């Protein structure tokens, strides 16, 4: 085999394996508090920062792309409700009008945190969203049920809330706009922007007065730049979340705004965390009072990484997303630790000379590949096989040494109360989150279940963990390396216990006591 091919295969295999596996530990049985809580701070480096101008945002994105981030504009977000503290399957808190004394409402995950749906009822009236039409039906008593009215919603309606005499409709609206677009933030230094007609998307919220259910009246509409993801209603306030990929117009990045039918056009501050990621998206969190049109909308915008999840309690929103070590750093660490020590001193010296040069990173990599490839050309087949075996053993050692350091879930805590939105704290835990049910808030602590590593037919190095964080999102307790070789398929937190189901060949159920947050 050609020496250069061997070089490339070894280097890319090592770096790629690290990226996929997350450099997790060799699995053993469950161990408590294995993570060094004193020497491995979990707070987010750099903390919360605020952009001053759109130019600063564009500059930030360009710089992160150069250092290995911003590979493409993508975002996947899950919205979670708060834990099932008092009872499973709590129901929404719609207040009954003169109707049935006992009636069923849509399921929610915590009392006091309502979730939007396509059907709602208040004991007498049923409100149904079908397509872009909301139908109001007088359903009690059933034998005299009748359709009272229908509302045609502008745009693409998704879900509804009912709050006393208010109907809230959430969804998306579209506006075709001629924009000058760039392929990516860094591309502005390389190519001219090209014009293109794009649909601008807005997350929309409409509030209707339904005191007269035969003649609903629109009271207020609010639009957030971006696409509607999800929402929650706590008391009189709806908290709506929208996301938007970075866009450019006349070489200037377009900063998300919030418009209100009351004549107010908000330009919220944009906050960020000075950390690398592979893609970025604007996440806007806005609160709207459903009972008063005079109460202004409050909104904050955060520039965050991709692959996000959200967990919402009655007092806090937790934004989470996965953060991997930048690919160039992973590549260099794997090369330095695994491959370079296996070559002769004169080859290693030439590699170091190239690494210390002022060449671009891509050119350095090409030159290093040629140097190592030339060395491999002189090896026999048996020597090459021996080298591969040695590299494999070194890689396994690197995995053990780098346990839980490269695959992190970042957590940001944002307080919500009576419409206010305020950032509180940031932290991180090893591993990745399955979904919203893997997170929970209880007695001031944030609890989260994660999986590190990958499960494979050949037996991966995956393991499962539970971390308990305090109000400042510092880890206070941990239970690590549960079910080695498997991953979490289901998680629930209920009071002082957590329930985990992991899977590879069997379905074990773990019941974990969390009464002592520092010693689960």
Tokens of 463: 């393991």
419 sits in the region (left: phi over 0; alpha: psi -120 to 50; else beta) called left
| 3-class DSSP state of 34 | coil
Alpha helices, DSSP H, located in 319-407: 327-334, 345-355, 361-377, 381-401
Overall average pLDDT of the 79-88 stretch: 37
Question: By the 8 A CB rule, do 411 and 429 touch?
Answer: yes
Given this model, what pLDDT does residue 328 score? 59
DSSP, residue by residue, 30-44: -EES-S-TTTS--SP
Instruction: Give the domain ranges of the chain.
Output: 3-18+328-401, 23-45+413-513, 77-323
Going by pLDDT thresholds of 50, 70 and 90, the confidence category of residue 183 is very low
Tokens of 490: 């289901």
List the beta strands (DSSP E) in 210-276: 217-225, 227-234, 237-244, 247-249, 252-254, 258-260, 265-266, 270-273
d(Cα 95, Cα 263) in Å, to the nearest integer? 31
Question: By the 8 A CB rule, do 438 and 422 touch?
Answer: no
Given this model, what pLDDT does residue 44 score? 54
Given this model, what pLDDT does residue 97 score? 59
d(Cα 450, Cα 465) in Å, to the nearest integer? 5
Burial 1-30 (b: 16+ CB within 10 A, else e): eebbebbeebbebbbebbbebbbbbebeeb
* Residue 377 neighbours by CB under 8 Å, 6+ apart: 2, 3
pLDDT tens-digit readout, 297-340: 999 999 987 657 888 999 999 988 887 765 556 667 777 777 77
Write down the pTM of the prediction.
0.74
| 3-class DSSP state of 388 | helix
Overall average pLDDT of the 33-52 stretch: 58
Residue 132 has pLDDT above 70, yes or no: yes
Give the percent of the chain with pLDDT over 70: 73
Residue 101 has pLDDT above 60, yes or no: no
In 3D space, the residue among 316, 253, 246, 252 whose CA is nearest the CA of residue 285 turns out to be: 316
pLDDT tens-digit readout, 344-360: 899 889 988 998 999 88
Given this model, what pLDDT does residue 287 score? 97
Question: By the 8 A CB rule, do 492 and 57 touch?
Answer: no
Residue 494 or residue 41, greater confidence:
494
Tokens of 154: 């502008």
pLDDT tens-digit readout, 225-239: 999 988 999 999 999
Going by pLDDT thresholds of 50, 70 and 90, the confidence category of residue 77 is very low
Burial 44-73 (b: 16+ CB within 10 A, else e): beeeeeebeeeeebbebbbebbeebbbeeb
d(Cα 82, Cα 109) in Å, to the nearest integer? 6
Given this model, what pLDDT does residue 178 score? 47
What count of other Cβ atoms lies within 10 Å of the Cβ of residue 122? 24
Provide the terminal-to-terminal Cα distance of the chain, rounded to the nearest Å. Answer: 53
d(Cα 70, Cα 77) in Å, to the nearest integer? 17
Residue 73 or residue 57, greater confidence:
57
Residues in the chain: 520
d(Cα 427, Cα 324) in Å, to the nearest integer? 15
Residue 487 has pLDDT above 80, yes or no: yes
How far is Cα of residue 252 from the mean position of the Cα atoms in its chain? 26
Question: By the 8 A CB rule, do 426 and 47 touch?
Answer: yes
Residue 96 has pLDDT above 60, yes or no: no
Instruction: For tokens 């792309």, name the residue.
Output: 65
How far is Cα of residue 356 from the mean position of the Cα atoms in its chain? 37
Overall average pLDDT of the 433-455 stretch: 90
d(Cα 11, Cα 429) in Å, to the nearest integer? 29
d(Cα 409, Cα 431) in Å, to the nearest integer? 6
In 3D space, the residue among 487, 513, 481 whose CA is nearest the CA of residue 32 turns out to be: 481
């Amino acid at each position: 085999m050609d020496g250069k091919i061997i070089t490339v295969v070894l280097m890319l295999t090592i770096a790629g394996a690290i990226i996929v596996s997350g450099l997790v530990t060799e699995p053993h049985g469950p161990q408590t508090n294995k993570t060094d809580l004193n020497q491995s701070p979990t707070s987010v480096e750099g903390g919360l920062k605020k952009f001053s101008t759109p130019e600063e945002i564009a500059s930030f994105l360009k710089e992160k792309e150069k250092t290995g981030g911003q590979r493409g504009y993508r975002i996947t977000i899950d919205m979670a409700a708060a834990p099932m503290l008092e009872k499973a399957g709590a129901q929404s808190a719609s207040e009954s009008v003169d109707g049935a004394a006992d009636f069923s409402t849509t399921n929610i995950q915590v009392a006091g945190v309502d979730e939007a749906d396509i059907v709602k009822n208040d004991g007498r009236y049923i409100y149904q969203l079908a397509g872009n039409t909301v139908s109001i039906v007088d359903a009690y008593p059933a034998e005299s049920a009748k359709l009272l009215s229908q509302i045609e919603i502008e745009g693409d309606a998704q879900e509804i809330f009912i709050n006393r005499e208010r109907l809230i409709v959430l969804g998306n609206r579209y506006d075709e706009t001629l924009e000058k677009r760039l392929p990516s933030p860094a591309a502005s230094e390389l190519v001219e922007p090209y014009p293109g007609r794009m649909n601008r998307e807005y997350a929309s919220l409409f509030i209707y007065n339904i005191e007269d259910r035969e003649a609903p009246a629109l009271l207020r509409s609010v639009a957030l730049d971006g696409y509607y993801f999800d929402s929650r209603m706590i008391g009189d306030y709806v908290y709506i979340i929208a996301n938007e990929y970075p866009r450019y117009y006349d070489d200037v990045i377009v900063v998300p705004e919030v418009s209100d039918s009351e004549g107010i056009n908000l330009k919220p501050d944009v906050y960020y965390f000075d950390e690398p990621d592979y893609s970025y998206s604007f996440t806007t969190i806005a609160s709207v009072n459903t009972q008063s049109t005079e109460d202004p909308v409050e909104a904050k915008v955060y520039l965050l990484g991709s692959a996000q999840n959200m967990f919402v309690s009655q007092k806090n929103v937790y934004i989470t997303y996965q953060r991997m070590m930048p690919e160039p750093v992973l590549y260099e660490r794997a090369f330095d630790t695994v491959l370079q020590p296996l070559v002769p001193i004169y080859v290693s010296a030439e590699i170091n000379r190239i690494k210390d040069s002022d060449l671009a990173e891509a050119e350095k990599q090409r030159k290093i590949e040629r140097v190592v490839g030339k060395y491999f050309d002189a090896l026999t087949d048996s020597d090459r096989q021996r080298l591969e075996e040695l590299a494999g053993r070194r890689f396994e050692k690197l995995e053990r040494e780098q346990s839980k350091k490269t695959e992190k879930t970042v957590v940001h805590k944002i307080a919500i109360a009576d419409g206010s939105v305020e950032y509180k704290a940031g932290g991180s835990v090893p591993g990745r989150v399955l979904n919203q049910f893997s997170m929970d808030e209880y007695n001031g602590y944030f609890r989260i279940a994660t999986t590190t590593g990958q499960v494979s037919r050949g037996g991966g190095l995956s393991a499962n963990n539970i971390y308990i964080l305090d109000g400042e999102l510092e880890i206070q307790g941990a239970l690590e390396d549960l079910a080695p070789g498997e991953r979490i398929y289901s998680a629930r937190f209920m009071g002082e216990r957590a329930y985990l189901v992991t899977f590879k060949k069997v379905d074990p159920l773990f019941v974990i006591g969390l009464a002592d947050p520092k010693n689960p």
